[in-house]
Amino acid sequence: MLLIGSVWVSCTENDKMNHFSLQERQAALADSLVYGTLNSDPYRAIAIVDSLKDAYTITEAKANYYRAYIYHQMKQDLTAELCYQQALGGNELYNERPAYFYYAYDQLATILACKGDHEGALEAAMNGFSVARSGDDNESKRWAATLLHDIGYCQMLLGRVDEAERTFDRAYSALKSLVEQDSNYDNLYSWARVGYNIVDSYTSTQQYQKVDAWMERAEEAVNRMVNSPECSAQEKEEYIGGLKTHKAIMLIKTGHRTEAEEAFRQIINSDYAETNLGLIDRAEYLRHAERWGELADFMPRIDSLANAWQVPLSLYYLKEYLVPDFIAYMKSGRYEKALQTAERLATSIDSVEIYEREHNAAELAIIYETKEKEAKIAEQQNSMKMIGWVAIAVVLTLLVIFLTIYLILRYRAARQLKVKNRKLEWKNAQLKIANARAEESSRMKTDFIQQISHEIRTPLNILSGFTQILTTPEMEMDSTEKEEIGTHIAENVDRITGLVNKMLELADASSQTVVDCTDRISMVQIAEMAITDSNIQRAEHLDFTLLKEECIEDVEIITNQRYAIRALSLLLDNAQKFTRRAESYNARLHEDRKEMVVLKVGMRGKKAYFMVEDTGIGVPIEEAEHIFDKFVQLDEYYNGTGIGLTVARSIARRMGGDIVLDTTYTGGARFIFSLPLPNIKTNPKQS
């Protein structure tokens, strides 16, 4: 669940226009034109904004605000982010409409949080809060509490749970106090929205034990709002249904299955269950309850909803719609449906590439505003030419009297022009660098998508072939052949599942959230479980050895077991891959000998280390950091996605450790995975 915008655009005040001044009526009319056109034709709404700006009916700040709001509705968040930042430059928007000023900060924080920039989102929310808290009117107080709750949400996403809890309590209490003083609908709505979002923050961060403590307070705020005569039937339905869904998920995740199922039945029996949000909530609960068969039956309705919403083909669409379909069908044993979904996933990748390229290109064109910059440069040059002609005319008319003045002005103008040209050259150079980086990023994404397409299509072709064999009526096979076919099917299903999991891990790799490290496990167990997960001992092309220092046999550390094992398993997978002969003549490994991989486990000071050393193709010293970037493949003749090392280092750093390449080793490649050891405890049974 994403961070929900917690404010209400107060364009419903247009019905009070009779009490407005002329300027306020013009502002209300602009709101009506823009918002009235947005739902039917967002591009026409942008044209209307530009026309209003050109006619000086609205200011530049308000025009940027409108543009940001429209682009956000069009899912072009990169452009919306830029426009909100431009709207918030200076005090023009605040002086004209404080509510829009606060709303812009709130939405900017929302966009930054959704794209994973939690620090930036926190800064935006704090900037808006610092302005709102200085106001004495009720509107400023309401916005201050709303932005304060945004701060708490960002703190929660950053793992600062204790700070977030205190911030949430301040925001909720402030709005409750405001409602007690004045129970107008704006205050009721903000109070209910904040209460709901606080519950959502705990559910989204999987802190289910703490949801119950806030559920009663959220229900109090929501009940006050829905009992207001100004509350629409749709808002009432969505808030009550949403809270019930959160409660059912909380109950199922805390082991209260009977109560959770009862709460879920209440949702199904309500009108909310058949609304768009109700359908999404039902699927969310079935996933948390691991009711895979029912979820698989339900997924076609979610697909229809995605089509009705016209969700574009993007990585977001693959992750949020096709991947859950695939998992639901796999978990419920419907392998034919899973195969069909995997084929959709594979065939959609090319379309995703085209969409991402066109979408990013359109947004970059807007961000750099190339045409506008060229027009400004031309305008400046024309202006300089006019100044020169005027200066010449003055000199010709008053040649003797103003000769000295003319020479001085000419010299100064030339010097200023030289400075401006240097600045322009510098900006052009920076723009070329930025364009080169964007092209490199686009190329790497294209290579990655093509590689993923290849990686998925290969097992799909195998599965398709075996499916045709098994479904041929006249085909007869003995038990050995059936067992062999079953083994191949399981291996290729696992391969597809592994690729899907890697794509999900890549989406999480850029996250800065600290991993919860509360598992007590020995270093030897981490090594052994990673060896098992990677199947490196079964690799026929190499000899594998595990070396352990004697001092670590009975040492336990406190870390995150799953993530630690996963990071080490990815390093072992990398060693397997690059000690195997590549699929071309360009391979540099010998065929007449087995390669070697050694996993060394030990301690150095207050750090545990896991050293993976191989005799493979190695890594050039100049590429020691580049190989950890997304989609990097130094040797294109090896299969792979180029994200394993990226994910492994991200996991290690989020646990307080690191993964580095030892550039002093020249016999292949040596990666060192380190974890902090603030607490080292010897097993009493071994001491």
User: What pLDDT sits at residue 411?
Assistant: 86
For residue range 524-559, what is the model confidence (pLDDT) as tens digits? 999 999 999 999 998 888 999 999 998 888 888 999
Residue 390 has pLDDT above 70, yes or no: yes
> Do 535 and 664 reside in the same domain of the chain?
yes
> Do 645 and 566 reside in the same domain of the chain?
yes
Q: Are β-strands 669-676 and 681-682 bridged in parallel, bridged antiparallel, or unpaired?
A: unpaired
Read off the pLDDT of each residue in 184-207 and give the average, rounded to a whole number.
Answer: 91
> Do 334 and 256 reside in the same domain of the chain?
no
Q: Does a structural domain hold residue 2?
A: no
Q: Does a structural domain hold residue 440?
A: yes
Q: Does a structural domain hold residue 38?
A: yes
> Do 180 and 142 reside in the same domain of the chain?
yes
> Do 465 and 575 reside in the same domain of the chain?
no
C-alpha angle 316-319-323 in degrees, rounded to nearest 5: 150
The pair of three-digit structure tokens given for residue 328, joined into one six-digit string: 């639901």
Domain residues for the domain of 179 are 97-221
> Do 332 and 302 reside in the same domain of the chain?
yes
Q: Are β-strands 542-548 and 595-604 bridged in parallel, bridged antiparallel, or unpaired?
A: parallel
Q: What is the mean pLDDT of the chain?
A: 81
> Do 329 and 183 reside in the same domain of the chain?
no
What is the CATH number for 141? 1.25.40.10
Read off the pLDDT of each residue in 347-374 and give the average, rounded to a whole number.
Answer: 60
Under the banding of pLDDT at 50, 70 and 90, the label for residue 342 is: confident
CA dihedral 177, 179, 181, 186 (to 10 degrees): 130
User: What pLDDT sits at residue 333?
Assistant: 87
User: What pLDDT sits at residue 636?
Assistant: 63
- Region of 276 (left: φ > 0; alpha: ψ -120 to 50; beta: rest) is alpha
Q: Does a structural domain hold residue 131?
A: yes
* Burial state string for 404-417 with b = 16 or more CB within 10 A and e = fewer than 16: eebeebeeeeeeee
What is the share, in percent, of the chain residues with pLDDT greater than 70? 82
User: What pLDDT sits at residue 435?
Assistant: 76
> Do 306 and 281 reside in the same domain of the chain?
no
Q: How many CB atoms lie within 10 A of CB 92?
A: 16
Residue 385 has pLDDT above 60, yes or no: yes
Out of 296-305, 318-327, 539-548, 597-606, which region has the weakest mean confidence (pLDDT)?
Answer: 318-327
> Do 106 and 87 reside in the same domain of the chain?
no
Task: Name the domain boundary from 46, 75, 92.
Answer: 92
Read off the pLDDT of each residue in 192-205 and give the average, rounded to a whole number.
Answer: 90
> Do 525 and 499 reside in the same domain of the chain?
no
What's this model's pTM, rounded to 2 decimal places? 0.52
Q: Does a structural domain hold residue 226?
A: no
> Do 180 and 250 reside in the same domain of the chain?
no
Please count the structural domains in the chain: 5
Q: Does a structural domain hold residue 258?
A: yes
Under the banding of pLDDT at 50, 70 and 90, the label for residue 467 is: confident
Q: How far apart are CA 580 and CA 425, in angstroms?
A: 49
Q: Does a structural domain hold residue 435?
A: yes
Read off the pLDDT of each residue in 72-76 and give the average, rounded to a whole number.
Answer: 80
Task: Name the domain boundary from 73, 92, 111.
Answer: 92
* Burial state string for 164-174 with b = 16 or more CB within 10 A and e = fewer than 16: bbebbebbbeb
The pair of three-digit structure tokens given for residue 115, joined into one six-digit string: 């794209």
- C-alpha distances in angstroms, 558 versus 516, 526, 676? 10, 11, 9
> Do 497 and 537 reside in the same domain of the chain?
no
For CA atoms 276, 281, 282, 287, give the dihedral sign: positive
Task: Name the domain boundary from 92, 121, 139.
Answer: 92
Q: Does a structural domain hold residue 512?
A: no
Q: How many CB atoms lie within 10 A of CB 526?
A: 24
Residue 14 has pLDDT above 50, yes or no: no
Q: How far apart are CA 345 and CA 330, in angstroms?
A: 14
- DSSP per-residue string spanning 265-283: HHHHTSGGGGSHHHHHHHH
